[in-house]
Amino acid sequence: METSAKLFISGKPGTGKSVLTAHMIDMIRKKEEDAGHRGVLLYYFCGADPAADQYSDVRQEASSKAILMTLLRQIVSGMSLQHSRSLRGDEYVSASGHGMLSELGLRTRIATLLESFDTIRIVIDAVDRCENRAFQQDGLIPWILNNMTARARILLIGCQDPHVTNLVAGLPTIVMGSDGTTQSNLEAYARHVVQITWTR
């Protein structure tokens, strides 16, 4: 399997995609800690708790703003870890524009802050559960795929969906198998994907 900066993992519901994602995030986090360089891991589980998304107009969809706010928190947290000090509340409020930044403002802030990292890993699980406008030409998912720094490694996970399929056309894709996948199979597969496909 060839190394790629972008990867899409798809499969039917119940095939273990989110479990695989959790294992991969855990492994990537450990690799980043062991590497000793300035890296950041950003992730969002779109299907985790859509009811908790205060920015979404649709109950079962994750809003772009909720995703961006979470990624921003993770970046600021990663910056404080890099400097071996605890994150002050005013630093996050300052970074997020007091929570009042528009989606475009959040994107700009995130892109600026990511410049201070050597490696960037972005994982979006259940991408098919994002709000429809996230897939539009100027939406969040195309922005992540097309406008992130060259140091970014991007992993999208989700069910096949017309919006997703159009955006990931041409990306390396792994299709998860049957719903009888065991925990040990998923752990082994996660190690394989992280080691072979998604590392530098």
Please report the pLDDT score of residue 42 as a whole number: 93
Rounded mean pLDDT, 101-108: 87
| Rounded Cα gap, residues 58 and 114, in angstroms | 30
- Whether the per-residue pLDDT at 85 is higher than 70: the answer is no
In terms of C-beta density within 10 A (0-12 exposed, 13-18 middle, 19 or more buried), how is residue 169 classed? exposed
When pLDDT is cut at 50, 70 and 90, the band that residue 82 belongs to is low
Name the residue with higher pLDDT: 178 or 35.
35
Please report the pLDDT score of residue 115 as a whole number: 87
Please report the pLDDT score of residue 84 as a whole number: 45
Tokens for 54, please give them. Answer: 């205060």
Q: What percent of the chain has pLDDT over 90?
A: 12
For residue 36, give Cα distances in angstroms to 30, 117, 148, 149, 163. 11, 12, 22, 20, 38
Please report the pLDDT score of residue 192 as a whole number: 66
Residues 155-178 pLDDT 10s = 999 988 888 888 888 888 888 775
Rounded mean pLDDT, 133-155: 87
Handedness of CA 132, 136, 140, 146 (dihedral sign): positive
Cβ proximity of 75 and 113 under 8 Å: yes
Mean pLDDT of the chain, nearest integer: 76
Please report the pLDDT score of residue 1 as a whole number: 43
Handedness of CA 156, 159, 160, 163 (dihedral sign): negative
- What is the Cα Rg of the chain in Å? 16
Q: pTM for this one?
A: 0.80
